[in-house]
Amino acid sequence: MAPTTTPPARALPARESSLFKEVLHNYEDRQLKKGLKAAETILKKFPNHGETMCMKGLILTHMGRRDEGFDLVKQGVRHDLTSHICWHVFGLVQKGQKNYDEALKSYTQALRFDKENMNILRDAAHLQTQLRHYDQLVETRHTLLRLRPQLRQNWIALAVAYHLHGNLTESKNILAQFERIVKNVPDYDIELSEVLLYHVRVLEDLGEYKEALALLDTHAKSRMIIDRVAIMEFRARLSSKLKSEDAQQAWQGLIEQNADSYDYYRGYLSNRGIDLDALTDETRVQALQTLRHFAEQFSRAAAPQRLALAVAAGDEFKELLEPYLRTRLAKGIPSLFTDLKALYRDPSKRDIIESVTHALLDSLAHAPDAPCPSSIDPTMYVWTLYFLAQHHSHLGRHDKALALLDTAIAHTPTLPELYLFHGRVLKRAGDPYGAARWVDQARLLDLQDRFLNARCGKYRLRAGLVEEAVEVFGLFTKKDAPSPSQDLEDMQSLLYLIEEADAHRRNGNYAMALKRYLAVQKVFDDFEDDQFDFHGYSVRKFTVNIYLNLLKWEDTLRSHPAYVHAAIEASRILVRLHDDPSIANKASSQSHLSEAEKKAKKKAKKAEKKVQEEAKKASANGSNEDKGLEAGPPKDDDPDGAKLLQAPEPLERAAKLLKPLSTLAKDNVQAWAAIYDVAVRRKKYLQALQALQRAHTLDPASPDLHTRLVDFAQRWKALNDKIAENATTVVSSSLAKFIPEDVPPERFNSQYLQAHSTRGDAILGAAKASQLLGAPREEVEAAVFGVLNPDVALQLETAIAVDAFLAEIQSPRVDEFRAAAKAKFPLSTVFAPHAELPALRKSAIGLAVAEVNAEKEEFIS
């Protein structure tokens, strides 16, 4: 379809034509100033020459004048719609903007006018992979291979394309063909080795185990495959699948090579018909025997011993436990409890652990004031106390845990782990301020340790002390960053962003909370973008197996708990905003930046000014500096998040955030609740109801589901402009499955309450529902106070949620509740009267950072 003759507007006379070639060369060599000048010379005479306009726009983009450049490129395209150069440039610039959809469209256009342009084809292939258009990818890779069959990567890329498209058989054929014709391979060629391992994997995925093993063995023998671990792993797996006699030997070999890998023991046992997750009496005996044997053979490895503990039961368990515990307590291993925690799912093992460890403690106990007798190992003593503290706290016995820790600290006051855990127990018991103070003390014991620093920061955030937390984090962030927060965000610290966002949310600072949650969203956008360069790179490097795993990981990227949490919480704020737009105005007027934040703002402004001045200097020189096609990170023009909060269409933004969750977090009730909240307000009633149905399948008794069912019933009843006839019927009949038509919602609510009357969270849910149904406040309050009944197993979380709810409905009984909750959770401080808060907050900080520095200087000088 391409024109056979150059259109008149494109053709240039000899002088300008050679100038244009110069422009292209200059661009390729990144001689940007020269290229710009040459382009401008052409344009003086031919101002509408599309191709030159595009090249000039491209050069301007590289020089940092991105908006100008992009506009010019667009104009250039309009002036020459059949030029492959114009479309190629357009695609390049769009790719640089990460607008992959549009970029691919431009590249596809470019290819119409220059079907066999290798550069364009390659870029198109990368875009097709990024966008998961695998059918198009196969075609493109075919073309590339046809054009240059001598290039090895073109073969591999085509095989990969077929694989991605789901055609493993064709992938296999391409690889086989490639291996037949490849020549001149040096010894120990890592690239060919990787290709062969990929081929083996394809055969395994196809279920052709015999062929896979044959290929593996042939090439392992000839030393064409040189990755020994991979060879052994493939061999073991394939032999097992073929039920070959060699399998056992193969697994044994793997264990010898790495006795610390659980997967290898599992594989060995599985090969003998023993499934560690589904043991019978007979297989239990066999498994134990095998593991004991391995434990003897590999005495330094913990894996066989630990697996044996999982397998053994009763007296045998006790017999294996004692030496396991003793060695590790004597060595002082901090992770011992975490190591054994999984065993607690079995109550008999949990009890055995408790009795054995207490017996051990009794044998080590001595008078607290006297020095440790020589017969007693002080290390073992302290770590046994530490272990038992963790044990009891895990089982909810926080008082006992604290008592054990106090003994330990009196014995060994310099062990940070003791203070850390003391803080953790207080956190669990509802005293975030005490928790922060204890963790701070741990930090002060070793100021060189970033781990302790990070914990301290986290605990301050949990106590709502954002400024103080950032100050502590700042001791380890880059000194030349605009602020500690910026550095942590640049380094993609999801932990920090989430914890700070949560802290702001609890403090009622929705603007900053939203800002941080959206920063998490941006980080995940960057993670998704990171794979792009590997579409070309990994094919060039031939590391195909892990490249395919990368793509698979990227496909479910947003199932990560950090994204899910950020999306749900951000959407909740946006829904609040929709329900009460005045929140946005409150935020901006209340923009009380803390001292630290004001300082950071000043510093950032200064830094920005400096950058601007340098940029001005640079463009004044018309420097050749190539700023690339991608814009740098934008400056932060919304430091307190107020603008974000005021941005329009909160519901649409929320829907976008939540979209991935319907597939990637489909077993998460909170996700469906959040999806409901947005859908129902967008008047998408079917979608809203479907969300409730999904939640119901997962947890029919969920209070979050219950309140929303009532909410939906209310909204549906009040709907004036009903949706389309048939949709109405669907919705009504679906709703009737949850709330039968003849049951008024009030009765539905009280039925729910009756069915779950000992669950604190259900009582709260029913109270919230009755509030939605218009019950008088006193009645709602009375209902919610039901969580304090003695037969209700009240969780700390629920009590906190009730407290928040009472505040929201502006109940005068808040203080009454808080006093009662404090009685239920005696170690807590979260229910302290508001007047006590300033003192509590102050007590959370041991020494201010400045004071610590002053002390340090005293020592040094």
Partner 1 sequence: MNIRLVRVDDLLGMQACNLQNLPENYTLKYYMYHALTWPQLSYVAEEDGKIVGYILAKMEEDLPDDDEAHGHVTSISVLRSYRRLGLAKRLMLQSQEAMATVYKASYVSLHVRKSNRAALGLYRDTLGFTVRDIEKAYYADGEDAYAMRLSLKDLAR
Question: Per residue, what are the HEC states of 464-489?
Answer: CCHHHHHHHHCCCCCCCCCCHHHHHH
Question: In whole angstroms, what is the distance from residue 566 CA to residue 572 CA?
Answer: 10
Q: Output the smallest distance, CB 624 to partner 1, in A.
A: 24
Question: In whole angstroms, what is the distance from residue 821 CA to residue 829 CA?
Answer: 10
Distances (CA, A) of 747 to 5, 142, 713, 785, 838: 80, 66, 13, 20, 45
Q: Output the smallest distance, CB 529 to partner 1, in A.
A: 9
Q: Output the smallest distance, CB 436 to partner 1, in A.
A: 17
Q: Output the smallest distance, CB 153 to partner 1, in A.
A: 15
Q: Output the smallest distance, CB 418 to partner 1, in A.
A: 13
Contacting residues toward partner 1, per CB under 8 A: 188, 190, 226-230, 258, 260-263, 300, 302-303, 306, 331-335, 338-339, 342, 417, 448-452, 454, 476-479, 488, 490-496, 526-527, 530-531, 533-534, 537-538, 541, 543, 545-547, 549-550, 552-553, 560
Q: Which is nearer to partner 1, 533 or 778 (CB)?
A: 533
Question: In whole angstroms, what is the distance from residue 685 CA to residue 721 CA?
Answer: 12
Q: Output the smallest distance, CB 374 to partner 1, in A.
A: 24
Of 181, 253, 241, residue with least CA distance to 207: 241
Q: Output the smallest distance, CB 60 to partner 1, in A.
A: 27
Q: Which is nearer to partner 1, 340 or 731 (CB)?
A: 340
Distances (CA, A) of 857 to 34, 293, 471, 554, 853: 56, 57, 19, 49, 6
Tokens 């330990």 found at: 408
Give the DSSP H or E segment for 315. helix 314-331
Q: Which is nearer to partner 1, 139 or 449 (CB)?
A: 449
The counts of H helices and E strands in the chain are 48, 0
Q: Output the smallest distance, CB 732 to partner 1, in A.
A: 44
Q: Output the smallest distance, CB 597 to partner 1, in A.
A: 22
What's the Rg (C-alpha) of the chain?
A: 33
Q: Is 5 left (phi over 0), alpha (psi -120 to 50) or beta?
A: beta
Q: Which is nearer to partner 1, 185 or 823 (CB)?
A: 185
Question: In whole angstroms, what is the distance from residue 533 CA to residue 767 CA?
Answer: 53
Q: Which is nearer to partner 1, 492 or 591 (CB)?
A: 492
Q: Which is nearer to partner 1, 323 or 581 (CB)?
A: 323
Question: In whole angstroms, what is the distance from residue 787 CA to residue 768 CA?
Answer: 13
Q: Output the smallest distance, CB 186 to partner 1, in A.
A: 12
Q: Which is nearer to partner 1, 482 or 650 (CB)?
A: 482
Question: In whole angstroms, what is the distance from residue 494 CA to residue 749 CA?
Answer: 39
Q: Output the smallest distance, CB 313 to partner 1, in A.
A: 21
Q: Which amino acid is at 416?
A: P
Rounded-to-5 percentages of helix, strand, coil across the chain:
75, 0, 25
Q: Are 670 and 660 in contact (CB under 8 A)?
A: no
Question: In whole angstroms, what is the distance from residue 648 CA to residue 6 CA?
Answer: 48
Q: Output the smallest distance, CB 541 to partner 1, in A.
A: 6
Q: Which is nearer to partner 1, 477 or 811 (CB)?
A: 477
The rounded Cα 47 to chain-centroid distance in angstroms is: 50
Q: Output the smallest distance, CB 853 to partner 1, in A.
A: 15
Q: Output the smallest distance, CB 37 to partner 1, in A.
A: 34
Q: Which is nearer to partner 1, 231 or 688 (CB)?
A: 231
Q: Output the smallest distance, CB 488 to partner 1, in A.
A: 8
Question: In whole angstroms, what is the distance from residue 442 CA to residue 770 CA?
Answer: 47
Question: In whole angstroms, what is the distance from residue 422 CA to residue 178 CA?
Answer: 63
Q: Which is nearer to partner 1, 230 or 671 (CB)?
A: 230
Q: Which is nearer to partner 1, 328 or 818 (CB)?
A: 328
Q: Which is nearer to partner 1, 113 or 496 (CB)?
A: 496
Q: Which is nearer to partner 1, 262 or 612 (CB)?
A: 262
Q: Output the smallest distance, CB 347 to partner 1, in A.
A: 20
Of 661, 538, 697, residue with least CA distance to 153: 538
Tokens 């394939």 found at: 238
Count CB neighbours of 93 within 10 A. 26
Q: Which is nearer to partner 1, 334 or 378 (CB)?
A: 334
Q: Which is nearer to partner 1, 88 or 424 (CB)?
A: 424
Q: Which is nearer to partner 1, 188 or 836 (CB)?
A: 188
Q: Which is nearer to partner 1, 305 or 798 (CB)?
A: 305
Start-to-end CA distance of the chain, whole Å, equals 82
Partners of 759 in beta bridges: 793
How many CA atoms lie within 13 Å of 525's alpha carbon, on the beta-carbon side? 12
Question: In whole angstroms, what is the distance from residue 530 CA to residue 524 CA?
Answer: 10
Q: Are 154 and 145 in contact (CB under 8 A)?
A: yes
Partners of 793 in beta bridges: 759
Count CB neighbours of 778 within 10 A. 11
Count CB neighbours of 459 within 10 A. 30
Task: Sort 499 into a burial class: Cβ within 10 Å, 0-12 / 13-18 / 19+.
Answer: buried
Q: Which is nearer to partner 1, 455 or 759 (CB)?
A: 455
Query: Tokens standing for 291?
Result: 């593991």
Q: Output the smallest distance, CB 287 to partner 1, in A.
A: 18
Query: Tokens standing for 170?
Result: 């064709």
Angle value at C-alpha 441, between 435 and 445, nearest 5 degrees: 145
Q: Output the smallest distance, CB 325 to partner 1, in A.
A: 15
Question: In whole angstroms, what is the distance from residue 104 CA to residue 91 CA?
Answer: 7
Angle value at C-alpha 590, between 584 and 595, nearest 5 degrees: 135
